[in-house]
């Protein structure tokens, strides 16, 4: 089914329903989905932090999840 056909079917279904719960649910779903594609603007500090992190990954300066868990457990015992 094409996008145009889907839109038309949705419009038809919406027009015949008087169920507020369904209409509110559809509205909330659409608003959520449409807002989920927001592009975030990063400031200079955030961009620099990301660049540093990527460089650390490239150099292998990373910990596995197991290593982090072990370090955290040791730290909590102190």
Q: What is the pTM of this model?
A: 0.44
DSSP 24: H
Do both 30 and 48 map to the same domain?
A: no
pLDDT for residue 16: 97
Q: What is the pLDDT along the chain (78 residues), one digit of tens a residue?
A: 899 999 999 999 999 999 999 999 999 999 888 887 667 899 999 999 999 999 999 999 999 999 999 999 999 998
* Confidence (pLDDT) at 40: 82
Residues 73 and 52 in one domain: yes
Domain count of the chain? 2
Residue 69 pLDDT = 96
Is there a single domain that holds both residue 31 and residue 48? no
The verdict on 28 and 53 lying in the same domain is no
Site of tokens 């961009």: 47
Range of the domain at 73: 44-77
Residues 6+ apart with CB under 8 A from 17: 23
Contact, 53 vs 45, CB < 8 A?
no
């Amino acid at each position: 089914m094409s996008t145009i056909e889907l839109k038309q079917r949705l419009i038809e279904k919406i027009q015949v329903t008087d169920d507020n719960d369904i209409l509110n649910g559809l509205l909330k779903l659409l608003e959520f989905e449409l807002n989920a594609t927001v592009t975030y603007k990063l400031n200079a500090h955030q961009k620099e932090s990301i660049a540093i992190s990527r460089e650390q990954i490239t150099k292998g300066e990373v910990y596995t999840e197991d290593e982090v868990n072990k370090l955290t457990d040791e730290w909590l015992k102190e």
